[in-house]
């Protein structure tokens, strides 16, 4: 295994970090809210990015006064997104190379996502990553979603590796806060479709422009 100390495992967030899915989620959400007479404002949406999926959608529903349609809208967004994933959700730059590095060096790895399990499984299977990401943990059903550490603590426990020996990779401030609260080191590749670099001030210091650059760091090249 080739990882710099003290790391013994890499834990990936999924949406916006491993795959370029935020714009596709926005498409699914926009279509759903339009069907209920609402034009979704990207600035409003960005306030909730990184939260657990149900909390994210609930935040938008509450903002637009659609609480009476909560459950049907949650299902509709998820059904739309699941249909779009195989066609439109692509790996982020550097994801394939980092995954190959993990495979070649037999590095323990997992996904810790705010998305429901069925979304995680659909992404992993559509990209042929099932042999790499055998451990996939969702915040769905946990007492708290990100920025609370619950999903990262669950993932570390499932891996059997102490949090302080796990490197978390994130794209959002809420996700980074969750990883740090779990006691992990967090490297962030900001997804600028919904984040600003300034969002991470006082949260995390290790910011990268792509997963390519994260891989260079792991190889000791920067």
Strand partners, 194: none
Q: Which helix (H) or strand (E) holds 90?
A: strand 90-91
Q: At 176, is the pLDDT very low, low, confident or very high (cuts 50, 70, 90)?
A: very high
Separation of alpha carbons 218 and 4, rounded Å: 6
Spatial CA neighbour of 48 closest among 38, 39, 56? 56
179-222 residue pLDDT tens:
999 999 999 999 988 888 999 999 998 999 999 999 999 998 87
What pLDDT was estimated at residue 71?
A: 82
Separation of alpha carbons 30 and 28, rounded Å: 6
Spatial CA neighbour of 98 closest among 19, 197, 195, 6? 19
Phi, psi at 211, each rounded to 5°: -70, -20
69-89 residue pLDDT tens:
888 888 999 999 999 999 999
Take residue 221 and report the two structure tokens written for it.
Answer: 């090249």
123-161 residue pLDDT tens:
999 999 999 999 999 999 899 999 999 999 999 999 999
21-60 residue pLDDT tens:
989 999 999 999 999 999 999 989 888 887 887 888 889 9
Which residues are the active-site residues?
Answer: 13, 15
Q: At 1, is the pLDDT very low, low, confident or very high (cuts 50, 70, 90)?
A: low
94-122 residue pLDDT tens:
999 999 999 999 999 999 999 999 999 99
Which residues make Cβ contacts (< 8 Å) with residue 57, sequence separation at least 6?
29, 70, 73, 74, 77
- 99 SS3 class: helix
Separation of alpha carbons 49 and 57, rounded Å: 10
């Amino acid at each position: 295994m080739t990882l710099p100390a003290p790391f013994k495992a890499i834990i990936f967030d999924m949406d916006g970090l491993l795959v370029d899915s935020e714009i596709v989620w926005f498409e699914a959400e926009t279509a759903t809210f339009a069907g209920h007479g609402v034009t979704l404002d990207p600035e409003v949406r960005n306030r909730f990015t990184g939260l657990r999926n149900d909390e994210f959608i609930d935040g938008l529903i509450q903002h637009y006064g659609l609480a009476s349609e909560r459950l049907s809208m949650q299902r509709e967004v998820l059904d739309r997104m699941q249909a779009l994933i195989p066609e439109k959700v692509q790996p982020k730059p550097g994801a394939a190379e980092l995954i190959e590095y993990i495979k070649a060096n037999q590095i323990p790895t997992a996904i810790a996502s705010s998305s429901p399990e069925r979304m995680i499984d659909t992404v992993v299977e559509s990209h042929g990553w099932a042999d790499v990401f055998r451990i996939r943990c969702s915040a769905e059903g946990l007492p708290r979603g990100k920025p609370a550490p619950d999903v990262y603590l669950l993932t570390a426990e499932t891996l059997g590796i102490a949090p302080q020996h796990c490197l978390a990779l994130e794209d959002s401030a809420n996700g980074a806060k969750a990883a740090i609260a779990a006691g992990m080191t967090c490297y962030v590749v900001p997804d600028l479709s919904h984040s600003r670099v300034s969002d991470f001030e006082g949260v995390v210091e290790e910011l990268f422009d792509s997963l390519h650059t994260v891989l260079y760091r792991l190889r000791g090249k920067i």
